Amino acid sequence: MAAGSASAPKAADAHADILVLRGLAKTYRALNGSEIVALSPTSLGIRDGEFVSLVGPSGCGKTTLLNLISGLIQPSAGQILFDGRLVDRPNGEMSLVFQRPVLLPWRRIIGNVLLPAHVMRLKPRAEYVARAHELLRLLGLGGFENAYPRELSGGMQQRAAIARALVYDTKVLLMDEPFGALDAMTREDLNIELMRIWELTKRTIVFVTHNIAEAVLLSDRIVVMTPRPGQVREILTVDLPRPRSLETMVAPRFGEIAGHIRGLLHHRPAGEAPAR
Amino acid sequence: MSGRLVSAAYAAGSFAVLLLVWEAVCRYFEVPEFYIPAPSRIAVTLVRGMPLYAANLGVTLYSTLASFVLALILGVLLGTLVSEVRFLDRTLHPVLIALQAMPRIALAPIIIVWFGFGPESKIALGTFTAFFPIFVNTAQGMRATESEQIALMRSLKASRWQIFRMIRLPNALPYLFAGASIAVIFAMLAVIVGEFLGANRGMGFLIISQSSQMDTAGVMATVFILSAIGVLFHYGLQYLRDRLLFWAAQGEVAGNPL
**Residue A193 burial by Cβ neighbours in a 10 Å radius (0-12, 13-18, 19+):** middle
Is there a contact between A104 and B170 if contact means CB atoms under 8 Å apart? yes
Q: Is B113 on the interface with A (CB under 8 A)?
A: no
**In 3-state terms, what secondary structure has residue A24?**
strand
**Is it the case that residue A121 has pLDDT exceeding 70?**
yes
Higher-pLDDT residue of B70 and A265 is B70
Confidence category of residue A231, pLDDT binned at 50, 70, 90: confident
ipTM of the complex: 0.85
Note the pTM of the prediction, 2 decimals. 0.80
| Per-residue pLDDT, A212 | 93
Query: Which of A38-42, A161-165, B66-70 shows the lowest mean pLDDT across its residues?
Result: A38-42
Query: Which of A16-20, A112-116, A171-175, B204-208 shows the lowest mean pLDDT across its residues?
Result: A16-20
Q: Is B124 in contact with B114 (CB distance < 8 Å)?
A: yes
Is there a contact between A98 and B152 if contact means CB atoms under 8 Å apart? yes
Q: What is the CATH number of the domain that holds B67?
A: 1.10.3720.10
Confidence category of residue A268, pLDDT binned at 50, 70, 90: low
Q: Is residue B9 part of a domain?
A: yes
Name the residue in chain A with its Cα closest to that of B159: A119
User: How many structural domains comprise chain A?
Assistant: 1
DSSP state of A245: -
Name the residue in chain A with its Cα closest to that of B170: A106
| Per-residue pLDDT, B250 | 56
**Is it the case that residue B57 has pLDDT exceeding 90?**
yes
Q: Is residue A84 part of a domain?
A: yes
| Nearest beta carbon to residue A90 from set B148, B157, B246 | B157
**Is it the case that residue A74 has pLDDT exceeding 80?**
yes
Same domain, B95 and B193: yes
Is there a contact between A90 and B155 if contact means CB atoms under 8 Å apart? yes
pLDDT digits (tens, 9 = 90+) for A14-35: 457 999 999 999 998 888 888 8
Stretch B92-104: mean pLDDT: 86
Confidence category of residue A50, pLDDT binned at 50, 70, 90: very high
Instruction: Give the mean pLDDT of chain A.
Output: 87
Q: Is residue B156 part of a domain?
A: yes
**Is it the case that residue B256 has pLDDT exceeding 70?**
no
Q: Is residue B250 part of a domain?
A: no
Is there a contact between B153 and A119 if contact means CB atoms under 8 Å apart? yes
**Is it the case that residue A265 has pLDDT exceeding 90?**
no
| Per-residue pLDDT, A10 | 41
Q: Is residue B194 part of a domain?
A: yes
Kindly state the percentage of chain B with pLDDT values over 90.
67
Q: Is residue A149 part of a domain?
A: no
Is there a contact between B157 and A94 if contact means CB atoms under 8 Å apart? no
Mutate to test the interface with A, among B145, B149, B154, B156 (most CBs of A within 10 A): B156
Stretch B234-246: mean pLDDT: 88
Q: Is residue B120 part of a domain?
A: yes
Pairing between strand A35-47 and A77-82? unpaired
Same domain, B237 and B198: yes
Q: Is residue B258 part of a domain?
A: no
**Is it the case that residue A211 has pLDDT exceeding 60?**
yes
Looking at CA atoms only, how far is residue A96 from chain B in angstroms?
7
Cα-Cα-Cα-Cα torsion B137, B142, B145, B150, nearest 10 degrees, comes to 180
Q: Which residues pair with A208 in a beta bridge?
A: A54, A176
Q: What is the CATH number of the domain that holds A64?
A: 3.40.50.300
| Per-residue pLDDT, B252 | 44
Q: Is A178 in contact with A160 (CB distance < 8 Å)?
A: no
Q: Is residue B150 part of a domain?
A: yes
pLDDT digits (tens, 9 = 90+) for B137-168: 999 999 888 899 999 999 999 999 999 999 99
Q: Is residue B254 part of a domain?
A: no
Looking at CA atoms only, how far is residue B180 from chain A in angstroms?
20
Confidence category of residue A7, pLDDT binned at 50, 70, 90: very low
Name the residue in chain A with its Cα closest to that of B173: A106
Q: Is residue A76 part of a domain?
A: yes
Stretch A254-267: mean pLDDT: 90
Same domain, B142 and B206: yes
φ and ψ at residue A97, rounded to 5 degrees: -130, 130
**Which chain B residues have a beta carbon less than 8 Å from that of A150?**
247, 249
Same domain, B130 and B202: yes
| Nearest beta carbon to residue A92 from set B156, B247, B248 | B156
Q: Is B154 on the interface with A (CB under 8 A)?
A: yes
Same domain, B24 and B78: no
Q: Is B144 on the interface with A (CB under 8 A)?
A: no
| Per-residue pLDDT, B43 | 92
Instruction: Give the mean pLDDT of chain B.
Output: 90
Q: Which residues pair with A79 in a beta bridge?
A: A22
Q: Is residue A120 part of a domain?
A: no
Is there a contact between B146 and A116 if contact means CB atoms under 8 Å apart? no
Name the residue in chain B with its Cα closest to that of A98: B148
Same domain, B17 and B108: no
| Nearest beta carbon to residue B155 from set A70, A100, A104 | A70
Stretch A33-44: mean pLDDT: 87
Q: Is B48 on the interface with A (CB under 8 A)?
A: no
| Per-residue pLDDT, A276 | 42
Kindly state the percentage of chain A with pLDDT values over 70.
91
Same domain, B48 and B118: yes
Q: Which domain holds residue B133?
A: 42-244
Question: What is the C-alpha separation between B66 and B62, in angstroms, rounded?
Answer: 6
DSSP state of A250: G
Cα B104 from chain centre: 15
Q: Which domain holds residue A55?
A: 9-93+204-228+247-268
Name the residue in chain A with its Cα closest to that of B243: A106
Is there a contact between B248 and A105 if contact means CB atoms under 8 Å apart? yes
Stretch B186-214: mean pLDDT: 92
**Is it the case that residue B105 has pLDDT exceeding 50?**
yes
Pairing between strand A221-226 and A51-55? parallel
Q: Is B161 on the interface with A (CB under 8 A)?
A: no
Same domain, B23 and B108: no
Name the residue in chain B with its Cα closest to that of A90: B155
Confidence category of residue B1, pLDDT binned at 50, 70, 90: low
Is there a contact between B155 and A119 if contact means CB atoms under 8 Å apart? no
Cα B47 from chain centre: 26
Same domain, B59 and B1: no
Is there a contact between A92 and B155 if contact means CB atoms under 8 Å apart? yes
**Which chain B residues have a beta carbon less than 8 Å from that of A119?**
153, 156-158, 162, 166
Query: Which of A26-35, A215-224, B183-192 shows the lowest mean pLDDT across its residues?
Result: A26-35
**Which chain A residues have a beta carbon less than 8 Å from that of B152?**
96, 98, 102, 115
Mutate to test the interface with A, among B153, B157, B164, B241 (most CBs of A within 10 A): B157
Q: What's the one-letter identity of residue B249?
A: A
| Per-residue pLDDT, A15 | 55
Is there a contact between A115 and B156 if contact means CB atoms under 8 Å apart? yes
Q: Which of B182, B180, B177, B143 is nearest to B163 (CA)?
A: B143
Residues of A with CB under 8 A from a CB of B: 70, 72, 90-92, 94-96, 98, 100, 102, 104-106, 115-116, 119-120, 148-150
**Is it the case that residue A274 has pLDDT exceeding 90?**
no
User: How many structural domains comprise chain B?
Assistant: 2
Stretch A42-56: mean pLDDT: 93
Q: What's the one-letter identity of residue A275?
A: A
Q: Is residue A55 part of a domain?
A: yes
Kindly state the percentage of chain A with pLDDT values over 90.
63
